[in-house]
Chain A
Amino acid sequence: MSVLLQQLANGVIQGALIALIALGYTMVYGIIQLINFAHGEVFMVASYGGLATFTLLPDDLKKSPAVALPLMFVGGILVAVVVAVIMERFAYRPLRNAPRLAPLITALGVSVFLQEAVRVFYPNAKSNLPYPKVFPEGNLTIGSVNISWTGVLLVVLSVGLAVILQTYINRSRMGRAMRATAQDPDTAKLMGVNPDRVIVLTFIIGAVLAGVAGIMFGGYLNNINIDMGFQNGIFAFTAAVLGGVGSIRGAVIGAFIIGLIKTVAGQYMPGGTQYDYVWIFVVLILVLVFRPQGLFGEPERVRA
């Protein structure tokens, strides 16, 4: 029983991380129907951005987490946003009216490019890099279940940001413009919405969330590598599809389900941890086949 509880806790933390990335996927897809494959790499780049910020800090600041940590968040998020905006402007925007395969293939190219650019140009990025210890140490112990404080922070941040995002989209003027663009870009344009601005803002919001995820990932696991974006990106995308692409609530719930499948299937399914991802993909395929709109999505519209 205690094993199950521990695995559930682990799954929730993994899910929280995936949720932060999945939100970026789901928003971009909701508005321009693009699977932004490179979004996972934005998350990775943010992590390296945070690390670079820390490395550049003067030595006495490095010792005080209260100063270093916020600066790392700022640095990482800044890098993520810049990368995302450049990516949108130069890779995706010119293809907005191209056939659907074109931007998807571009996204693959961006993903490979970003990963390799970090590997080649970031010092020593060829293998894993240790992340500075600026996060709260120690565990929260409830009964037999151990959760690190960083993990707790990750869950709180993830859920909190999702709620803020949901409110922003439902209540603010810009959020309304986003929903309008997602529904019908042409009509939205007639109503005075600038679709380019809305799309850029969507990418920026996604990048900010991925940036938070990138720094938290480094803090929680204490090391980063260039592959982390691809792997977690796939999980996040799966989560977004599972929840119903375009739905904020769906992405978060989907992410928690993915996290739980990974840990619980690794524990109890035949083949154990050897096949833990296989179960994630099996669930994905089943959802797509039997409920293509996902758990919380609307049925897919046929695009004109």
Chain B
Amino acid sequence: MSTVDTSAKRSALAPLGKPFAAAGGVLGIVAALLPWVTFGLNDGNWPDKSTLQFFDAPFLVTGFRWHVLLLGVLILVAAFAPVPSKGRVVRALGWGLTLVSFVNAAYITVKGGGLGAITALDGATAFGGVVGLVAGVLAILAGYGIGIEPVGEWKFKLSTPLAYLVLLLSFGAVLYAVAAMLTTGGVGSANPYAGAIFLSFLGFAAGVLGALSGVGYIRWLSALSEQHRVFSVVVLAACALLLPFTEAGNEYWMTVAANIGIYAATAIGLNIVVGLAGLLDLGYVAFMGIGALVAANFSGAATAYFGFDLPFPVAAVIAAVVAGIFGAIVGSPTLRVRGDYLAIVTLAFGEIFTRSAQNDIGGFTNGSNAIPGIPALSLFGAEFNKSFTIGAVKLPAGVLYYILIVLLVAATMAVFANLKFSRIGRAWIAIREDEDAARAMGIRTGKMKILAFLIGAMLAGLAGAVFAHKNGTVSYESFKFLESVTLLAAVILGGMGSIPGAVLGAALLFVLPEKLRDFEDYRLMIFGLALILIMRFRPVGLIPDAHRRAEMVERADENAEEAHVEAKKA
């Protein structure tokens, strides 16, 4: 049915496909070489020498203009070279071009005070933005004209050493891209245009990624890494551990990355409950809070309940166990309550937790004063919150936390992966798909559901224990309803039931607000809108889980709308 759909689109635009692509590509290159702004702005010059006429010096193109140039060239290549799924590739590149042009043109217009800044003013002309936008739109249309065919499939096999090399290079490129993304726009607060530079970079990255995915490379790569799973995991972990040595290896990003790691580990735990067992939990952050409180009380902080200091590993285990016990208690109504009602029970539990913590229940939480002064972790005399030197290399403060958390996330991922492909995991998936059928097949559904809550809560409790030491203070304010929603959003954004998805989701939900601090007033509004749009257009998430795909949409490659139409017909 999808072929009918796309061929209808093709008929209108088909003859224009290649000419449009050619025009888009050429205009993209021209746009990169034209000036983008007519004068220097109030807050300083727009970056990348954008008032300059680069036709005079085409080799000096940098930054966003380099991205525009590159996209233009790629569109030309894709249009005329034998590329699989040409339409998708051109369309994705066109989107990238449009986004980069739009972000830069819009920012200049608004910050420079009017359209004159991006067209003609006082004798100066700057049509780069306009030309770029036209080029981008042309390329998108060209994509539809050429036709949106299924994602290309690469059949050929590689010998093991060659496969290793490809994986190594690909993951290395990912590491480079992540570091580049984190450092675009600068780390400090000096650059007034940091938000725009970042968005522009994001547009470029989205375009290139979309093209790679369209051409079939991403699918091929994921199949390849699935084949060599152990090697991939090792390389990926090594890449994560190498991040401190890149440009992004500064104290600030280490702090952010460590927080991402803590939330990612928690999100993986939530993924067991929601993604695998299909039990919606709206109060999940409470388990993290319980873990953090337990660790805080055993940390020797001045206001801790217990006057002694347990070694961190012991405290972390206790934290996980206590959180797990609470998880089992909260999960027990699942024996009788289903679906939406369960969501409300967990929400109620979350509210009860915050209320009780705020009121210093049992003297464990120190109420509204929180438990401050939790000592930083240390190992062999190296304090985790201080900078750290290996040989001649001085690593930024917080790097040890980062390493600890990378290991924690890796361990959680391993637990999750093993559970998912085990008997228990299959039982959870069966319950998610159809509880009555699962019970009929002899699965003890009640026990399994409570087990899901227990294990999920234990992971959250463990993450909470690290959280307590990393942040040095535990307050009920860190564990409110909105945090639960954020965690849930991380799981959904990444893809329910998908292991890398939860990590990616948590990373995006942390990195984007950090990079887009210009928009902080709109942060939650955009967050809400994003939840709606994801559910509407890509309910499977960014990295869909193979099983989950089957449930969320009928055909893996089609988007939600087509599936919806299909479901309506059925």
Measured CA separation A237–B345 after assembly (Å): 12
Q: Are B355 and A97 neighbours in the complex by a CB distance under 8 Å?
A: no
Given A109-B530, A274-B359, A289-B337, are A120 and B535 neighbors across the interface (CB < 8 Å)? no
The DSSP consensus for interface residues of chain A is: helix
Q: Which residue of A95, A111, A292, A300 is within 8 Å of B535 (Cβ)?
A: A95
Tell me the nearest residue of chain A to B332, going by C-beta. Answer: A289
Contacts of B485 on A, CB cut-off 8 Å?
Answer: 108, 112
Q: Which residue of B lies closest to A117 (CB)?
A: B525
With beta carbons under 8 angstroms apart, the residue of B337, B355, B552, B564 that contacts A292 is B337
Q: Are B532 and A285 in contact (CB under 8 A)?
A: no
Q: Are B340 and A281 in contact (CB under 8 A)?
A: no
Residue of B whose beta carbon sits closest to that of A114: B528
Contacts of B564 in A (CB 8 A): 94, 97-98
Q: Is the CB of B341 within 8 A of A288?
A: yes
Instruction: Tell me if A77 counts as interface (CB < 8 A to partner B).
Output: no
Is A113 an interface residue when CB atoms closer than 8 A count as contact?
A: yes
Q: Which residues of A contact B492 (CB under 8 A)?
A: 105
Cβ–Cβ < 8 Å partners of A115 in chain B: 524, 528
A35, A114, A274, A289: which contacts B340 (Cβ < 8 A)? A35
Residue B568 interfacial (CB < 8 Å): yes
The distance from the CB of A25 to the nearest CB of chain B, in whole angstroms, is: 11
| Count of A interface residues, CB-CB < 8 Å | 45
| CB atoms of A120 and B525 under 8 A apart | yes
Stretch in contact with the other chain, from B94-102, B346-354, B440-448 = B346-354
Identify which of A112, A113, A290, A302 gathers the most chain B CB atoms within 10 Å of its CB: A112
Q: Which residue of B lies closest to A302 (CB)?
A: B436
Whether A82 sits at the interface, judged by CB under 8 Å, is no
Partner of A102, one of B525, B535, B567: B535
> Is A278's beta carbon under 8 Å from chain B?
yes
Report yes or no: B345 in contact with A288, Cβ–Cβ below 8 A: yes
Say yes or no for B52: interface residue by CB 8 A criterion.
no
Residue in chain A with minimal CB distance to B523:
A116
Contacting pair B525 A241 (CB below 8 A):
no
Chain B count of residues within 8 A CB distance of the other chain: 47
**A101-B280, A277-B351 are known contacts. Are A241 and B532 too (CB-CB below 8 A)?**
no
Asked whether B551 is an interface residue with its Cβ less than 8 Å from the other chain, the reply is yes
Contact of B528 among A100, A104, A112, A289 (CB under 8 A): A112
Smallest CB separation, A202 vs chain B (Å): 17
Flag if A237 contacts B344 (CB, 8 Å).
yes
Chain B interface mostly = helix
Among A106, A241, A277, which residue has its beta carbon within 8 angstroms of that of B344?
A241
Query: At the interface, yes or no: A284 with Cβ under 8 Å from chain B?
Result: yes
A106–B535 CA distance with the chains assembled, in angstroms: 6
A95 and B536 alpha carbons, distance in the complex (Å): 7
Q: How far is the CA of A108 from the CA of B567 in the complex (A)?
A: 24
A106 with B536: CB separation less than 8 A:
yes
Q: How far is the CA of A116 from the CA of B485 in the complex (A)?
A: 15
CB neighbours of B522 from chain A (8 A) = 116, 120
Residues of A274-304 at the interface with B, using a CB-CB cut-off of 8 Å, are 274-275, 277-278, 281-282, 284-285, 288-290, 292, 300, 302
Within 8 A of A (CB), among B156-182: none
- Asked if B359 and A102 make an inter-chain contact with CB atoms under 8 angstroms apart, the answer reads no
Q: Does B339 contact A (CB under 8 A)?
A: yes
* Cβ–Cβ < 8 Å partners of A292 in chain B: 336-338, 341
A277 to B349 Cα, complex, angstroms: 11
Q: Are B333 and A278 touching (Cβ within 8 A)?
A: no
Knowing A105-B535, A300-B338 touch, does A112 contact B359 (C-beta < 8 A)?
A: no
> How many Å from the CB of A297 to the closest CB on chain B?
11
Do B551 and A99 touch across chains, with their CB atoms under 8 A apart?
Answer: yes
* Inter-subunit contact A109/B535 (CB<8 Å): yes
Of the candidates B348, B359, B436, B561, the one having the most CB atoms from chain A within 10 angstroms of its own CB is B348
In chain B, residues 488-539, which have Cβ atoms closer than 8 Å to a Cβ of chain A? 488, 492, 496, 521-522, 524-525, 527-532, 535-536, 539
| Min CB–CB distance B329 → chain A (angstroms) | 11
Complex contact A110–B343 (CB within 8 A): no
A192 partner residues in chain B, CB cutoff 8 A: none
Give B39 Cβ to nearest chain A Cβ, in Å.
31
- From the candidates B333, B356, B560, name the one contacting A285 in the complex (CB within 8 A): B333
Inter-chain contact B333/A109, CB cutoff 8 Å = no
Verify B280–A109 contact, CB threshold 8 A: no
CB distance from B342 to the nearest CB of A (A): 8
Nearest chain-B residue to A290 (Cβ)?
B336
| Contacts of B541-567 to chain A: CB distance below 8 A | 551-552, 560-561, 564, 567
**Distance in angstroms between the alpha carbons of A142 and B13 in the assembled complex:** 77
Interface status of A271 (Cβ within 8 A of chain B): yes
- In the complex the two chains form, is B341's CB within 8 Å of A241's CB? yes
User: A157 near B: Cβ within 8 Å?
Assistant: no
Query: Do A113 and B340 have beta carbons less than 8 Å apart?
Result: no
Q: Which of B482, B528, B535, B568 contacts A97 (CB 8 A)?
A: B568
Tell whether A91 is near chain B: CB-to-CB under 8 Å: yes
Which 4 A-B residue pairings sit nearest by Cβ, starting from the closest? A109-B531, A113-B528, A112-B528, A281-B348
Given contact pairs A101-B496, A103-B535, enumerate 14 new A-B contacts (beta carbons under 8 Å).
A101-B274, A102-B535, A108-B485, A109-B528, A113-B531, A115-B524, A120-B522, A234-B347, A277-B351, A278-B351, A288-B333, A288-B341, A292-B338, A292-B341
Task: Pull 22 A–B residue pairs with CB atoms less than 8 Å apart, ordered by A.
Answer: A98-B564, A99-B552, A101-B278, A101-B280, A103-B535, A104-B280, A108-B488, A109-B527, A109-B528, A110-B532, A112-B528, A113-B529, A113-B531, A117-B525, A234-B351, A277-B355, A284-B344, A284-B348, A285-B345, A288-B337, A288-B344, A289-B333
